[in-house]
Amino acid sequence: MLHIRDMALPVRIASSALADDGAITTAGDFHQWFSQCVEKDESQVTRIPFSELSGWRFEEQTGNLVHHTGKFFSVRGLQVRTENRPVTEWSQPIINQPEIGILGILVKEFDGILHCLMQSKMEPGNCNRVQLSPTVQATRSNYTGVHRGSAVPYLDYFLDAEPRHVLADVLQSEQGSWFYRKRNRNIIVEATGDVEVLDGFCWLSVGQLHDLLTVDDLINMDARTVLSCLPFSGVGLCAIFPFDAEPLRSGLIRSISEDQGTLHTSSQIRSWITDSRVREDVETKLVDLTGVEGWHRSEDRISHETGTFFDVMAVDVQAGNREVLSWTQPMIESRNLGVVAFLIKRIRGVVHALVNARVEPGYLDVVELAPTVQCTPENYTHLPPEARPPLLDEVLSAPPDLIHFDTVLSEEGGRFFHTRNRYVIVEVPPDRDIEAPNDFRWMTLHQLAGLMQHSHYVNIQARSLITCLHSLLREPKRAAG
């Protein structure tokens, strides 16, 4: 049964997205609070050689990098055989973390506006140490107490949620190039009673979060993926937006709220995804880290012989306000800035994003929908020019007035060290044709939202960019010139 509350939900979310000054936290309050959080952070993160890892070791026979409890995660090898790719066979280190963590945002209405309880959280991989994260961001090891830390605050809101207070609840994948079949539970729960605001937490409207998305390295990856699952789409959304919005914004509103005006039907999109999964003949196999070819282990890093892709390295963390006070851990470090971009286009007045059916070896189901461009340009320098990702140059050479979003954001600071991407949204003028290969399709945000109710469809980078696209709802973009 469709409850009245369900029907109103997209409207409530859209109202929160339009509230760029919160009902209980002003922009000024936020900046003061966040500056204090940054000041209070006394963490020290130091690169260390592997030999200084404590509790972690390279297993003698396999070479795998493991924790002595067998919990958390391990760094293993992955052997990949594929077709239709520039490189058809390779092996690589990969993070194996079979347990499913929770990324949860608690929301609550204040003065008729939904607010998200956000946390200022130190993560060792963050280049600026403290970023804004969901209410709860916990691995199963965290919350079952494997590392003997303190209890995870607010966790019970998510574990014991009343079904009718759950606004979103779906397992979503993470980076398929670095993780083997990792996924986290993305969950949003509405609180009805009083909620105590603990030190390090703050209520912000969706509009405020969208504003803060334009600040480099502030809204962390986990917050972006959970926010992308907010059920924006639905009936009645158009009613609260001005009808005279400029074309891009009104095209975006239609793209989010309507089931109409799509270039391909949703059934055609699903058939295309099925076809991609059948055609892409990818075999992957977890192997021992010693069996990985082309990668070399030195005292303090495991790197590819070309110096590209990523490194496995280790850090020592001294932290005052984390569940445990100090620890060491391995991390993944990507040396170069990546580019993650959507080309968008108004088609019959409705904004469509160009998505790519992308193979990453760590995906559970072969292919997920990725942004138009998702790459680290430097990784292609040792490959022939025809291996260069399609449409990368379209993004890099876009004129400024067609770039609607352009912020450098960090990947998860718990596993990735100083690993950042430039997130970009570039508009293609309606009269301009883009030649895209068969593994690309123009889709509306409503179609993407439909798929994001399920697992294994929309990858983590695309989900981040969808949150960025939602952020364009908040104010008209100045016209060209």
Q: What residues line the site for its own copies (CB under 8 A)?
A: 1-3, 6, 98, 100, 163-164, 166, 168-171, 185, 187, 231, 259-265, 267-268, 270-272, 274-275, 277-278, 283, 364-365, 453-456
In angstroms, rounded to a whole number, what is the distance separating the alpha carbons of residues 460 and 447? 17
In angstroms, rounded to a whole number, what is the distance separating the alpha carbons of residues 221 and 153? 20
Closest by Cα among 212, 77, 194, 191 to 135: 191
Angle in degrees, CA 254, 174, 396, rounded to 5: 60
Query: Would you call 130 helix, strand, or coil by DSSP?
Result: strand
Chain centroid to CA 201: 21
Torsions phi, psi of 167, nearest 5? -90, -25
Minimum CB distance to its own copies, residue 69 (Å): 16
Burial of 385 (0-12, 13-18, 19+ CB in 10 A): exposed
| End-to-end Cα separation, the chain, in angstroms | 50
Q: Given the complex with its own copies, which of 278 and 480 has the nearer CB atom?
A: 278
Q: Given the complex with its own copies, which of 58 and 272 has the nearer CB atom?
A: 272
Minimum CB distance to its own copies, residue 82 (Å): 13
Minimum CB distance to its own copies, residue 122 (Å): 26
Q: Given the complex with its own copies, which of 128 and 455 has the nearer CB atom?
A: 455
CB half-sphere exposure, 199, CA atoms < 13 A: 7
Alpha helix segments (H runs only) across 91-205: 140-143, 155-159
Cβ atoms within 10 Å, residue 380: 16
Q: Given the complex with its own copies, which of 208 and 284 has the nearer CB atom?
A: 284
Q: Given the complex with its own copies, which of 185 and 474 has the nearer CB atom?
A: 185
Q: Given the complex with its own copies, which of 231 and 390 has the nearer CB atom?
A: 231
Q: Given the complex with its own copies, which of 38 and 155 has the nearer CB atom?
A: 155
Minimum CB distance to its own copies, residue 263 (Å): 8
Minimum CB distance to its own copies, residue 160 (Å): 11
Minimum CB distance to its own copies, residue 274 (Å): 5
Minimum CB distance to its own copies, residue 266 (Å): 8
Looking up tokens 């080309």, which residue turns up? 343
